[in-house]
């Protein structure tokens, strides 16, 4: 029976005979068999050197993880659900990282999800943001301010565009609610704003509103709920608002729809 320990000092090469570190993988198998490996050949290599540094795209890593790419934006990608245009990488005391926004960085814009949305009289509808569940995932504890802009068309059931016998311009009531969603508890309305815009049937009206949510925690989400409340006219129940990417009542529907957005800032 044999006993004892054996120690073998070796380098591991995968897809290459010209090993440059403790572990070296040439993904494309295009390295020179011996001698110098060019920078172009090393772009698809992964290497661990004798200090434990890891190089991806480089054979001379100078950090624990060294990424090298000749194309801007292709060296690193973190897609964990918090990513979004113009967000920055944030971290906690333990070094965990995610994408988010910070105070004073200029805000974050979410455009509308293309589709057809009818705001019936007295029925609350979640505003159609182009994000998961029409909600904004919050990546760090803070208070937030929202600015909403949308182009809505006032409609009346049974009315034709050629009908001039009915008053087209109305003052109506529109309610906006900024709602916080948190795992394990019921949704909470952070702020409610009631407005009375003048709208014209079969014509676009641009609506604006600002909303604030305070003491929001990381992993909460926020969404905006809109309720069209009509007015005091006798035919109020026949009125509704329309947000439609393919609106047949206007030649400017696509442009008007794409102008809608939500901008939110960390306070």
CATH value at residue 109:
2.60.120
Give the CA angle between residues 85, 86, 89 to the nearest 5°. 105
Which residues are bridge partners to 222 per DSSP?
A: 136, 180
In a domain, 57, yes or no: yes
Pair (121, 246) in one structural domain:
yes
Q: Which of 67, 85, 114 is the last residue of a domain?
A: 67
89 with 107: CB under 8 angstroms?
no
Single pTM value for the model: 0.75
Does one domain contain both 28 and 111?
no
21 and 139 co-located in one domain: no
Whether 252 is in a domain gets the answer yes
Residue 188 lies in a domain: yes
- Asked if residue 4 belongs to a domain, the reply is no
Which residue range(s) make up the domain with 17?
12-67
Does residue 85 fall inside a structural domain? no
169 and 219 assigned to the same domain: yes
State residue 5's pLDDT score: 61
Same domain, 36 and 142: no
Report yes or no: 54 and 64 within 8 Å, Cβ to Cβ.
yes
> Does residue 73 fall inside a structural domain?
no
Kindly give the pairing relationship between strand 204-216 and strand 142-156: antiparallel
Q: Do 52 and 156 share a structural domain?
A: no
Q: For the chain, how many structural domains are there in total?
A: 2
**Domain-located, residue 33:** yes
56, 140: one domain? no
Q: What local confidence, expressed as pLDDT, does residue 64 receive?
A: 95
Report the pLDDT value the prediction gives residue 235, as an integer from 0 to 100. 85
Let me know whether 54 and 111 are in one domain: no
The tens-digit pLDDT sequence of the chain (267 residues) is: 555 565 556 789 999 999 999 999 999 999 999 999 999 999 999 999 999 999 999 999 999 999 999 888 889 999 887 887 778 888 888 998 988 888 777 777 888 888 899 999 999 999 988 777 889 888 889 999 999 999 999 999 988 888 877 778 889 999 999 999 999 999 999 999 999 999 999 989 999 999 999 999 989 999 999 999 988 888 888 999 999 988 888 878 888 888 888 888 888
CA atoms of 256 and 204, how far apart (whole Å): 8
Neighbours of 55 (CB within 10 A): 23
Residue 111 in domain: yes
Task: Name the burial class of residue 213, with classes exposed (0-12), middle (13-18) and buried (19+) by CB atoms within 10 angstroms of its CB.
Answer: buried
And the tokens for 245?
């990417």
Q: Are residues 60 and 128 in the same domain?
A: no
Residues 209, 136, single domain; the answer is yes
257 SS3 class: helix
> Are 40 and 141 members of one domain?
no
Question: Quick one: 18 and 114 in the same domain?
Answer: no
């Amino acid at each position: 029976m044999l006993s004892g320990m054996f120690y073998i000092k070796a380098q591991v090469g995968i897809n290459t005979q010209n090993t440059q570190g403790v572990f070296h993988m040439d993904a494309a198998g295009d390295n020179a068999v011996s001698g110098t490996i060019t920078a172009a050949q090393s772009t698809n290599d992964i290497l661990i050197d004798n200090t434990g540094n890891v190089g991806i795209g480089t054979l001379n890593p100078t950090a624990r993880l060294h990424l090298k790419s000749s194309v801007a934006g292709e060296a690193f990608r973190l897609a964990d659900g918090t990513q979004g245009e113009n967000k920055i990488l944030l971290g906690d005391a333990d070094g965990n990282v995610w994408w988010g926004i910070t105070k004073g960085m200029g805000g974050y814009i979410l455009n509308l999800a293309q589709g057809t949305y009818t705001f019936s009289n007295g029925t609350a509808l979640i505003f159609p943001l182009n994000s998961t569940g029409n909600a904004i995932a919050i990546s760090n504890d803070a208070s937030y301010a929202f600015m909403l802009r949308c182009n809505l068309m006032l409609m009346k059931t049974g009315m034709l565009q050629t009908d001039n016998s009915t008053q087209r311009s109305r003052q109506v009531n529109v309610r906006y609610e900024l709602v916080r969603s948190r795992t394990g508890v019921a949704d909470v309305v952070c702020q409610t704003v009631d407005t009375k815009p003048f709208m014209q049937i079969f014509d676009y009206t641009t609506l604006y509103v600002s909303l604030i949510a305070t003491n929001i925690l990381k992993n909460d989400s926020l969404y905006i709920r809109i309720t069209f409340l009509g007015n005091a006219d006798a035919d109020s129940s026949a009125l509704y608002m329309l947000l439609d990417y393919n609106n047949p009542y206007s030649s400017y529907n696509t442009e008007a729809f794409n102008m809608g957005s939500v901008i939110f800032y960390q306070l």
